[in-house]
Amino acid sequence: MNDRTCIMEEKDKEYIWHPFTQMREWVADTPLIIESGKGSYLIDTQGRRYIDGFSSVWVNIHGHRKKAIDKAITEQLKRIAHSTLLGLSNIPSILLAEKLIRVAHNSGLFSLSKVFYSDNGSTAVEAGLKMAFQYWQLKGGRYREKTKFLTLENAYHGDTIGSVSLGGIDLFHKLYKPLLFETIKVPSPNCYRCPIDKNHPDCNLACIREAEKVLKRHHHETAAFVIEPLIQAAAGMIVSPPGYLSQISSLCKQYNVLLIADEVATGFGRTGRMFACEHEDVTPDIMAIAKGITGGYLPLAATLVTEDIYNAFLGEYKEFKTFFHGHSYTGNPLGCAAAIANIDIFEKENVLHHVRVKSSLLEKLLRQLKDHPHVGDIRQKGLMAGIELVKDKSSKAPYPLEDKAGYRVCLEARNMGLILRPIGNVIILIPPLNISSAILKKMVAIIAAAIETVTGNGFQQ
């Protein structure tokens, strides 16, 4: 190990508290310190190269050091790094807002017409939920009763208190319960572990009937249904069955409940369309986007809303209908410049076509893992995929969390030059969208070998 790596490792352990990390284990381990990146690769302080199999936590889109984005940021840097949207405006945020609405319209999301900026996925969701709440308050009368939110079991919408309230992953969320507002839960459309014990497709989407029961009972007090469209990603890439999203959307319309689509993970091409909602011709009332918006370069997020929502907030100043919400770095010009370049690349390089080609290749590659005795389920939409490891395939019995099966597979993969981050027993694959066929093949080969190594020794059958 070179000297600098040693020094950095020491300082890391001295000063940093890592997110979602048991720090006692961290300090006992040898951390990987990333120094640079190029295309689909990350390079550490010792010059070792790794495939970035999780797009640097689901954000990277066109690979690292993408020329056009590098250039957009450096050009913007010559003008100004940051100015705010609180009382002022700036050029990149104006041009990006126009572009985002145009992109939304090109995706069939015709009624989205206004852009509210923030700087990460959690805040984009928080802004959306406050907007939905305030919308009904401003409508007045009996609508003021509409104060609650419907969410899916196993939902994940971020780590701030509002978005944690919407969440349904016990490991992350349960402890904080006394701090959270209550939400009304709808069964997760989880076909591998169906919460209502049905089998898809024979079930005829029985989970929709469950959702309808909840809406029927609670619509009068419900502001919005918050959903991760098509994929509950942080729950372990739970892909909802075809038709689920569009039927939820219809029910929301029928029962006069707003639909908030959290496209933080799915947005910007991951599923093979620009936005996941597009697959089922669904237009939400509010849409949160973040992760991929800057191509994975800078923290930026946006909450897109319909004209109807926006209009409800209009009035004389003294009516105090204003949306009193905003973050210091709102509309950050560097982030917006990166986002504009990101979207331009989608158009210039036909990225969505590439994603569709690569996702059918990925599907083919993953099929080879299906019969492995410890692979319970493989779920995929576009270039988002999850491989669920099980202790027992026929009973679907999971490995106990403390066995850290997913973690051990990812550690093994890392030794073979691939960086992944698991969610429990699910191995998550989210490569950069422009990954080459050769690297994709290598990635799946490494995963197969890592699963074999881990499940073959140390785990009981």
Ligand X SMILES: *Cc1c(COP(=O)(O)O)cnc(C)c1O
Binding positions for ligand X, rule: CB under 6 A: 120-122, 125, 156-158, 228, 233-234, 262, 264-265, 290-291
Burial string for 1-16 (b: 16+ CB within 10 Å, else e) reads eeeebeeebeeeeeee
CB of residue 159 vs ligand X: minimum separation in angstroms?
6
For ligand X, the closer of residues 107 and 120 by Cβ is 120
Q: State the residue number with the nearest CB to ligand X.
A: 121
Strand blocks (E) in 254-359 = 258-262, 286-289, 301-306
Instruction: Kindly tell me which of 172 and 459 has the beta carbon lying closer to ligand X.
Output: 172
CA distances (Å), 338 to each of 89, 272, 298, in order? 17, 21, 7
Considering beta carbons, is residue 115 or 264 the nearer one to ligand X? 264
CA–CA separation, 344 vs 431, rounded Å? 20
| Nearest distance from C-beta of residue 125 to ligand X, angstroms | 6
CB of 297 to ligand X, least distance (A): 13
Distance between CA atoms of 426 and 378, rounded to whole angstroms?
9
What are residue 190's phi and psi, to 5 degrees? -110, 95
For the CB of residue 201, give the shortest distance to ligand X in the complex, in Å: 26
Nearer to ligand X, 37 or 229 (CB): 229
Provide, rounded to whole angstroms, the least separation between the CB of residue 54 and ligand X. Answer: 12
Report which of 1, 26, 32 is spatially closest to residue 14, judged by C-alpha positions. 26
**Side chain identity at residue 188, one-letter code:** S
Residues recorded for the chain: 461
Q: Which residues contact 170 (CB under 8 A, 6 or more apart)?
A: none
Q: How far is the CB of 291 from ligand X (least distance, A)?
A: 6
**Closer residue to ligand X (CB): 5 or 165:** 165
- What CA–CA distance (Å, rounded) separates 149 from 365? 39
C-beta of 152 vs 375, nearer to ligand X: 152
